[in-house]
Structure 1
């Protein structure tokens, strides 16, 4: 028996008649021809790719040809005879297929036929190309971990060297600066802290600067009535555990509210001059409820008081001074005071299912719905949007999602200045709509420039200070080409380019986006799972992120696993079990990104630990059989 035949375990008892082997071999040869045919048809696309990426682009072509058919019947036949089922062939499609064909030819004692070669060959295996591309983009990995850790910097990092240093020491390999927030002065200070920390710690840290991109957001909302609210602390049973601590001062004094005050209550005129410690203030709050404040002690230009009840106050409410006489009788003393000016409340709009919302082209401050004395609707709620260009792209019947999908609606009418939306998704109690919240239009084909005028202004700074640039809300290959043109104009074509997949349009055009991206010498892909889940549906997210990982591996492009990784830990100091599992899944990418939060250093520590543990168990789709400990 041939050693090849013995080695692959093919025998008539396992697979059937010899003609079946021949049929399988013919099927594989036909598949090979199809892959090479699509490569030949894609010659123009491949020629435009950076020479360093041509083998990777050709492999992506082969993978697309492979996945445009249902491979499951063929995989079953291959697995039955103990051959590779091509289930992990992403990074080396043609060579994997060729190896199976050679084995079958030997098993059938056929003379190996000359295989038509790909006109683009690589001197390095696919896995090595991916590693090379990852090092170019993200820098060399730390000694004890393969997957890099990226951290989004908060504005605090601009002036907190200790924070940046601790992030580096605990495992941050890349720092992300979001150009949609803050300004050039803040970014400059952030970069200064990173460079200082790199110098002091000896650790490397690449800098990614994300362009804001054509992010669609809600406009400003007219401020609400000035109302001040405070409430005591209560336990889970509703029992008060601590009273609300209130700072009372004259509105004539320009005094900053103490940080540990629950609320600051300004009083008109010199009324506080007659107040003494241990007095009590009595008043009717904004709802007409009788409330009181117990004065405790005099401070600098004011008094500390305590309240044991939830209270709403507004300007102009009368305050009455209650004082206990020597005989123990409580009486009113002096003249009544009056609450002074209060800051206006942040504007909000409450929306319920069935409500109408008018989205305006003009940047008019949004307002809640207006009702007459008889309860009849006079005017629907309205809000502006940040990109009036969408008015020519949306149509009735298309969906609109606001604030990460918390509020959902259907467009019912569109005219030159307004879009009428019927709210179809909200909790029974309604949802608060705030300013500067994201808007997604998953069904609309938006004609927006991928690089905005603001982005072009920021590029002048970015190309001088960043190692990588992130293209946000990319929708089409032309968006990538536009950024590449601007980088060439600025003599920065060698800057790392990362496209963020966060729209439905980007996912649907992912191959075209990748072929265009590969025209740049240093590239990466970020799976921005927040907006992607909103646009494509949360139920599809797991499937989508897998497909992006597969295509990126086929193109040998490093992937950044982003959005809400260990978010509970970063924000509250305590992770959920689900997010720990999600962080472990990120080990299949080349980089995992954490967002900002007060406990971000703790999150870096945990992510570093998770990734080190997982790299012995998982690499891409391949389970690694590390020695177990029992």
Structure 2
């Protein structure tokens, strides 16, 4: 007789062991209780939320409770047991957790007991709520694509209807107007073109208007010396392939510079009256180099001349007329002429590592460092800033970053009128500091209102013309509440609000910002990755944008993926491999934003194609296993 066969059941309980399943059930039940406890403790937060977002706010609370612990050990146990590891539970934390608990109860042969229920219930699933909120903010997606495309309008769009219509035809779903630039007259013409294009194409297009916010920027720089430069065209070997075309005219003529001139050179008095079309003008330029101009033609009161050499000229330089005599000898003719007034060059300041920079409270023009005849530094370079409030918030030892982080430094001293900065970050050859460049103080706790006096003025226009409003440089929940109060005052609280996460402070207070945002009916989040990368470090950007995406999905808030998407393509007409991959990652969001550029229509076409292709492979964190081609 054969020996009795052993039990070879492959049921989950037999495979994993009842003790392992029992331990898992106990751990998950305790986790459920933690989520319920935090929900109960957050009753005041939930009471303030708009009724439409109650379930979303509760799910965000549950997700935050889940992520307060390191979930990796529990995820490994769940995966080993063949159960969901909760790796994609952002939009529906409780339902995912409840499903695992129910499976474990059945596997252990226990009667499924109803766990303590959330006080917040919804007939809609998490993905359904996200879709509803997305459609409310951005409008319904086009038939061929789930992710919307937003385009930042250039100033030229105000007077270029064909461009606006073409952008809409090629795939633009939302138009962004930046109130930090232009004025109400320009914005009004842009909006008029959008409405006309919507009528003529039959395509919808929502309008987002961004408030400028408390943007910290560099002030004006004193103009440089009046110097004019021109240079001929050269090939890759430095050989001249085409001369520079110079327009020479009497200084008092008042004629405008021809558009195709490389440079325009005014000459004092009536000296040009003696010049003929075959003459040559000789002079020593601002560097003392001997230079000449070959006159090639006369038009009205001016002359065209050509130059085969790089040249720098300044006012007062003497011009000498060279003419070929009847005997074939080249000689000077007549009296010397004089170059007239030239426009001053835009001011610049060059900074190197180790240099000092003074940031001034008073809006006085900045200037380069000043040195004595012996080379000794008399005064460091200086620049004003747009927000004097920073002088009460900045402290020695904190970082300062200028022009998207191209120039970096450490604050060494602060008083009521000046901030002394030591430059620690610049290329070997130095960096040019220009006016109107962004300043970031990532370590400083700036006490700034999120809605400025200028923003309040703009709100009147925005409330009448936009579908949604962007809150720039938000730092704290009070900034969002302030905007909500102003919109209520204007009876415009139906307007969608998009908070732009572009500061370190905003990222660190993201949950509080979201709970305050959910007090409004129509909401969204923009990941403004440029300033965010500068403030938090480029090496952290991928991590930060993931965390923002997770929290936004947990709150069922649509996300706009922004800053430098297909930037090279929009500006130069040619994309890089890296930015195409980056654009594909935008499929994780509900909308992707393109910045302006001369090739923006081409960028819209490519982004539309990329998003169509990627939606078959990716949805949020979930990979979609569509059929492959081999």
TM-score range for the pair, normalised by the shorter chain length: over 0.9
Q: Is the 8 A contact 2:246 2:264 kept in 1?
A: yes
How big is the shift at 1:8? 10
Q: Is the 8 A contact 1:8 1:83 kept in 2?
A: no
Partner of 1:66: 66
| SS of equivalent residue, structure 1 residue 291 | strand
Q: Is the 8 A contact 1:616 1:626 kept in 2?
A: yes
TM-score, with structure 1 as normaliser:
0.98
Change (3 A) 1:119 1:300: farther
| SS of equivalent residue, structure 2 residue 12 | coil
CA distance in 2 between counterparts of 1:288 and 1:441 reads 45
Counterpart mapping for 1:205-224 below 5 A:
205-224=205-224
Partner of 2:155: 155
CA distance in 2 between counterparts of 1:21 and 1:552 reads 33
CA distance in 2 between counterparts of 1:245 and 1:88 reads 64
1:175-203 Cα deviation digits (max 9, x unpaired): 00000011111111111111111111111
1:522-545 Cα deviation digits (max 9, x unpaired): 000000000000000000001001
CA distance in 2 between counterparts of 1:255 and 1:129 reads 64
Counterpart mapping for 1:481-560 below 5 A:
481-560=481-560
Partner of 1:12: 14
Deviates further, 296-305 or 92-101 = 296-305
Partner of 1:392: 392
| SS of equivalent residue, structure 2 residue 22 | helix
1:501-542 Cα deviation digits (max 9, x unpaired): 000000000000000000000000000000000000000001
Partner of 1:409: 409
Q: Is the 8 A contact 1:21 1:104 kept in 2?
A: yes
CA distance in 2 between counterparts of 1:122 and 1:326 reads 100
Change (3 A) 1:516 1:412: same
| SS of equivalent residue, structure 1 residue 241 | strand
Partner of 2:3: none
CA distance in 2 between counterparts of 1:455 and 1:475 reads 16
| SS of equivalent residue, structure 2 residue 88 | coil
Partner of 2:5: none
Counterpart mapping for 1:608-619 below 5 A:
608-619=608-619
CA distance in 1 between counterparts of 2:111 and 2:299 reads 98
Partner of 2:272: 272
CA distance in 1 between counterparts of 2:270 and 2:148 reads 61
CA distance in 2 between counterparts of 1:302 and 1:7 reads 101
How big is the shift at 1:629? 1.8
Aligned residues: 623
How big is the shift at 1:240? 2.1
Q: Is the 8 A contact 2:248 2:266 kept in 1?
A: yes
Partner of 2:289: 289
How big is the shift at 1:237? 2.3
Within the alignment, does 1:382 sit opposite 2:382 as a pair?
A: yes
CA distance in 1 between counterparts of 2:204 and 2:327 reads 75
Partner of 1:581: 581
Partner of 1:3: none
| SS of equivalent residue, structure 1 residue 252 | helix
Partner of 2:244: 244
How big is the shift at 1:245? 1.4
Change (3 A) 1:173 1:8: farther
1:42-92 Cα deviation digits (max 9, x unpaired): 111011000000100000001101111111111111111211100011000
Query: What is the alpha-carbon root mean square deviation over aligned residues?
Result: 1.2
Counterpart mapping for 1:109-508 below 5 A:
109-508=109-508
Q: Is the 8 A contact 2:13 2:108 kept in 1?
A: no
Q: Is the 8 A contact 1:404 1:438 kept in 2?
A: yes
CA distance in 1 between counterparts of 2:320 and 2:594 reads 52
| SS of equivalent residue, structure 1 residue 400 | strand
How big is the shift at 1:449? 0.4
Deviates further, 460-469 or 328-337 = 328-337
1:467-509 Cα deviation digits (max 9, x unpaired): 0000000000000000000000000011000000000000000
Partner of 2:39: 39
Change (3 A) 1:240 1:8: farther
CA distance in 1 between counterparts of 2:149 and 2:256 reads 40
CA distance in 2 between counterparts of 1:7 and 1:528 reads 55
Within the alignment, does 1:569 sit opposite 2:569 as a pair?
A: yes
1:224-254 Cα deviation digits (max 9, x unpaired): 1111111112222222222211111111112
Unaligned runs of 5+ residues in structure 2 are 1-7
CA distance in 2 between counterparts of 1:614 and 1:164 reads 26
CA distance in 1 between counterparts of 2:511 and 2:244 reads 58
1:295-330 Cα deviation digits (max 9, x unpaired): 111123311111111111111111111112233221
| SS of equivalent residue, structure 2 residue 357 | strand
Q: Is the 8 A contact 2:13 2:21 kept in 1?
A: no
CA distance in 2 between counterparts of 1:387 and 1:108 reads 65
1:150-169 Cα deviation digits (max 9, x unpaired): 00001100010000000000
1:535-563 Cα deviation digits (max 9, x unpaired): 00000001001100000000000000000
Deviates further, 352-361 or 229-238 = 229-238
Change (3 A) 1:409 1:30: same
CA distance in 2 between counterparts of 1:517 and 1:218 reads 31
| SS of equivalent residue, structure 2 residue 524 | strand
CA distance in 2 between counterparts of 1:591 and 1:468 reads 14
CA distance in 2 between counterparts of 1:328 and 1:173 reads 71
Q: Is the 8 A contact 2:13 2:107 kept in 1?
A: no
Unaligned runs of 5+ residues in structure 1 are 1-5
CA distance in 1 between counterparts of 2:300 and 2:212 reads 45
How big is the shift at 1:278? 2.2
How big is the shift at 1:257? 1.2
How big is the shift at 1:280? 1.2
